[in-house]
Structure 1
Amino acid sequence: MTLVAGLGCQRGCDVHTLLSLFDAALAEGGIERRHVTALASIDRKRDEPGLLALAALLNLPLHCFSAAGLGVYADRLSHRSAVAFAHTGCYGIAESAALALAEHLTGAPARLLITRKKTAQATFALACAD
């Protein structure tokens, strides 16, 4: 099974905030960090220092998708954010990115294993595909 973490964050969100959310969400879901295959986000965050630092710290690849590429997942989200749409053009970055990458890596339908978890600065979701 392929597990992919989707992440969204405000500009300037630091690696410690992202790691704390990542670890807390996985712990709540009873999933060990080592089972996560890759990280995903929106292409606007491709150069975000906190996300890049998290990927380096976890030794995981970070894949980024366009808003249009994430938009096709809108009907599968647990939460549709009008604020996210206004800023990015998609209704949910973490869940959409996790689903997109899990399906991209496996060629199989993905589902959300952990729906959106949110802090003041970041969002996290975990998708899986066989």
Structure 2
Amino acid sequence: MTTTGTAPSLVIGLGCRRGCSAQELLALIEDSLSQAGIALSAIRGLASIDLKRHEPGLLQLATRLNLELEVFSAAQMAEFAPLLSHRSAIALTQTGCSGIAESAALALAAHLSGAPAKLLITRKKSSVATFALACAG
């Protein structure tokens, strides 16, 4: 039996503290994906909040993984707030967004597919970063 259509776009949303290294981000990603049984090669994009567009660790990670880093404003990510598993008052105060990793992942998945997005892996965190995985399509 053959299936038609395209595979869902799996995308990662990331939040991080200033100065977070690409290696620290990669360790969080690999651990989170491994626990879910998802290969890193299945990932189609990375996303974060626009305040992080020049963050060296995120840019180095994107280059290392050969993936685009897409950024979204807090206003663009606000529509996904009802879908978040966790809301951070600190993140909201500092960035205008209550959940950067989850919101960014949902925003990118919806943007790439033009379809409703859903979280496949809710927020995971390390001492310096947050991760979420979303898909659509």
TM range (shorter): over 0.9
Q: Which runs of 5+ in 1 are unaligned?
A: none
Q: 1:116 aligns with which of 107, 120, 123?
A: 123
Aligned counterparts of 2:103 and 2:120: Cα–Cα separation in 1: 13
AA of the residue aligned to 2:62 = A
AA of the residue aligned to 2:44 = T
Q: What corresponds to 1:43 in structure 2? A: 50
The percentage of aligned residue pairs carrying the same residue is 62
Q: What corresponds to 2:113 in structure 1? A: 106
* Secondary structure class of the residue paired with 1:73: helix
Which contiguous aligned blocks of 4+ residues in structure 1 show a shift greater than 6 angstroms?
none
Q: What corresponds to 1:60 in structure 2? A: 67
Over aligned residue pairs, what C-alpha RMSD do you find? Answer: 0.5
Aligned counterparts of 1:84 and 1:74: Cα–Cα separation in 2: 13
Q: What corresponds to 2:4 in structure 1? A: none
Q: What corresponds to 1:2 in structure 2? A: 9
* Secondary structure class of the residue paired with 1:125: strand
1:87 and 2:94 matched: yes
* Secondary structure class of the residue paired with 1:27: helix
Deviation at 1:71, TM superposition (A): 1.4
**How many residues get paired?**
130
* Secondary structure class of the residue paired with 2:20: coil
Which of 1 and 2 has greater Rg?
A: 2
Aligned counterparts of 1:42 and 1:99: Cα–Cα separation in 2: 12
* Secondary structure class of the residue paired with 1:13: coil
Q: Which runs of 5+ in 2 are unaligned?
A: 1-7
Q: 1:15 aligns with which of 11, 19, 22?
A: 22
How does the TM-score come out when normalised to structure 2? 0.94
